[in-house]
C-alpha cells in the first residue's frame, strides 16, 4: 500500500514534468493557509496554558447550624484561571467543583442586582465586577463587615432594608398634570442633579464601610440618606414633600451623624458621590430652619 502524501505526489509530478508548478497566486494562498493554521495553533496553546494556571482563593466559612462549622475559618481553593475571570466566577467554581455547601448570594452577574457584595482583599467590592487578574493573590474573600453573618458569605440585610425604607424611597408628588395622559415633566438640569443618586443598587457596600454605622445601629447610613437626596432634590415632588424628606433625615441618627470620612464614596461600585449628597442635604436642612425676623 502506498503511503505517499498528496504533497509528495504533486512534487514528484512537477519534477517529472507531468504537472505544472504552482502559480504565485496558489503559493500565496498556501502561505495564508499555513499562517492561519499557525495562529490557530498558537491560540490553542495559549488557552491550554491558561487552563493550567490556577488562582488561590481563601474564602470565609461559618455555619451556625453545623456544630463542626460554628468556629469561623478560611478554606483555601485552587481555581483554574481564565482570562476575564471575576471573583464571583472563582467562588462559583469552588462551590460547583470543590464544596457544594459554600454559600453566597448572586443573581444578575452584571453589577445591577447588588447581591454579591463581598469584602475582597480588605475592600468592599462586587464579586461580579472585580477581576481576579487585578488582585493580589491569594484572594481573600469575606462577608461584608459590620453585618451579622448568616452563613459563609451571606449577611443579614434586614436592618439595611429597614433603614432604606425609613426614608420612603419612592416618588411622591403633590400635584399631578391636568391631562390624564400628560407627563409630569422634569427639566434637564434637575435630572442631571439627581442622576447619580438614581444609580444605587442597594448592595450595602457603603454601609459596611462606614465607621459611624458600625457603632450606631440606628444611623440611617449613606445609602438611605443618598436615596433621600435623590427624591428630596427631585423638582417634581414639590416643596412640601421636600420639607417632609428633610425632616426624615434631620433626626438624631440622620445626616448629622456623618463625619465626612468619604469611605462610602470610595467603595461605591456605581461611583455615586454619597458624601457630597449628605453634605448638600445638611446645607438644605440648615437653610430650611433659618428664620429671619
The count of C-alpha atoms lying within 13 angstroms of the C-alpha of 228, restricted to the half-sphere facing its C-beta, is: 33
Residue 163 and residue 280 share a domain:
yes
Residue 208 and residue 145 share a domain:
no
pLDDT of residue 14: 46
Residues of the chain whose pLDDT is less than 50? Answer: 1-3, 5-6, 11, 13-14, 19, 48, 293
Q: Which domain holds residue 67?
A: 52-155
pLDDT of residue 290: 78
Q: 15 by DSSP, 3-state: which? A: helix
Cα distance between residue 176 and residue 255, in whole Å = 30
pLDDT of residue 188: 95
Tell me, yes or no, if the pTM score tops 0.75: yes
The number of domains in the chain is: 2
Q: What is the CATH number of the domain that holds 104?
A: 3.10.20.30
Residue 200 and residue 139 share a domain:
no
pLDDT of residue 49: 52
pLDDT of residue 21: 56
Q: 130 by DSSP, 3-state: which? A: coil
Q: Which residues contact 8 (CB under 8 A, 6 or more apart)?
A: none
Amino acid at each position: 500500500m502506498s503511503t505517499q502524501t498528496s504533497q509528495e505526489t504533486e512534487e514528484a509530478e512537477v519534477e517529472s514534468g507531468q504537472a505544472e508548478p504552482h502559480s504565485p497566486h496558489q503559493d500565496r494562498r498556501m502561505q495564508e493557509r499555513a499562517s492561519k493554521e499557525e495562529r490557530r495553533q498558537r491560540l490553542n496553546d495559549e488557552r491550554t496554558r491558561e487552563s493550567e494556571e490556577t488562582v488561590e482563593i481563601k474564602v470565609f466559612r461559618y455555619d451556625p447550624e453545623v456544630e463542626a462549622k460554628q468556629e469561623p475559618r478560611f478554606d483555601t481553593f485552587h481555581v483554574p484561571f481564565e482570562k476575564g475571570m471575576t471573583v464571583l466566577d472563582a467562588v462559583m467554581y469552588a462551590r460547583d467543583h470543590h464544596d457544594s455547601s459554600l454559600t453566597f448570594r448572586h443573581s444578575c452577574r452584571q453589577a445591577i442586582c447588588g447581591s454579591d457584595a463581598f469584602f475582597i482583599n480588605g475592600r468592599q467590592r462586587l464579586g461580579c465586577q472585580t477581576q481576579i487578574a487585578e488582585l493580589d493573590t491569594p484572594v481573600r474573600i469575606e462577608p461584608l463587615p459590620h453585618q451579622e453573618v448568616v452563613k459563609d458569605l451571606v449577611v443579614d440585610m434586614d436592618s439595611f432594608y429597614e433603614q432604606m425604607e425609613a426614608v420612603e424611597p419612592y416618588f411622591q408628588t403633590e400635584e399631578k398634570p391636568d391631562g390624564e395622559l400628560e407627563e409630569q415633566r422634569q427639566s434637564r438640569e434637575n435630572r442631571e442633579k439627581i442622576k447619580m443618586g438614581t444609580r444605587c443598587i442597594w448592595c450595602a457596600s457603603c454601609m459596611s464601610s462606614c465607621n459611624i454605622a458600625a457603632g450606631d445601629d440606628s444611623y440611617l447610613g449613606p445609602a438611605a440618606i443618598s436615596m433621600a437626596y435623590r427624591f428630596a432634590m427631585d423638582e417634581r415632588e414639590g416643596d412640601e414633600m421636600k420639607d417632609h424628606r428633610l425632616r426624615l433625615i434631620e433626626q438624631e441618627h440622620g445626616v448629622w451623624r456623618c463625619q465626612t470620612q468619604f469611605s462610602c464614596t470610595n467603595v461605591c461600585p456605581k461611583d455615586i458621590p454619597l458624601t457630597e449628597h449628605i453634605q448638600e442635604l445638611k446645607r438644605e436642612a440648615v437653610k430650611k430652619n433659618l428664620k429671619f425676623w
